[in-house]
Copies of this chain bind each other. A is one copy, B any other.
């Protein structure tokens, strides 16, 4: 059974790394998982990033193996009990997943073998159909924007409401997602505000956390969902 925990943001204002979702992490990996395979590719300093993730996960009772320390990354995925892909730059992350031939391997392990997958920010973007709705700067050119495809829709992490007092003329987040939906055949985009996350268990999807999410559908008005909402309908590919 597919099991995913897709978190909007790694750090919530005023708290430490993954603090705001530590109870969700515990109940997601539960006592069944002993070791988590961490993917630090979204940040430049992988050693430092692995240290931060390892400290946090150890405090929750899990050992961490960082994939950048593995001799064979594909083999590391093949043997993983659980996978966590951290945030950073989505383009760098996806390019590195392709460079290491991990996209298909992770998809297979999660969808066919039920390996639990946790993503945060960029790690949530790459879990969806594509990275077309990332907020990140395109600092490197990946071979495709298609991603791991663990769910049949897109996510916009760190979703941000329009600031009515802003004098900045760059596009608002809503305008950006609207531009995406001007393109033909584009899927739903779930805007996850900082503080919320999506739990997927098989064909059931539930919004968790403390903030609302906003769902954007091509050619339709957007809809707000509160924590606890059942979003299983998003898992139907025909969305």
Residues of A within 8 A of B (CB): 9-14, 44, 88-89, 91-92, 131-141, 144-145, 158, 160, 167-171, 176-177, 179-180, 182-183, 186, 194
Contacts and interface: CB of A to CB of B under 8 A. Distances in A.
Contact of A169 (B11, B91, B171): B11
Contacts of A177: 137
A2 B158 CA distance: 41
A137 B134 contact: yes
A49 to B, nearest CB: 13
Contacts of A135: 137, 170-171
Nearest to A88: B179
Contacts of A13: 167-169
A140 B132 CA distance: 7
Contact of A183 (B139, B183, B186): B139
A176 B137 CA distance: 6
B167 A160 contact: no
A133 B137 contact: yes
Given A135-B137, A160-B170, A169-B158, A44 B145 contact: no
A91 B176 CA distance: 12
Nearest to A171: B136
Nearest to A173: B137
Contact of A145 (B88, B141, B144, B179): B141
Given A158-B168, A158-B170, A139 B9 contact: no
Given A92-B183, A139-B180, A140-B183, 10 more contacts: A9-B170, A12-B169, A132-B137, A132-B141, A133-B137, A137-B176, A138-B145, A158-B170, A160-B170, A169-B194
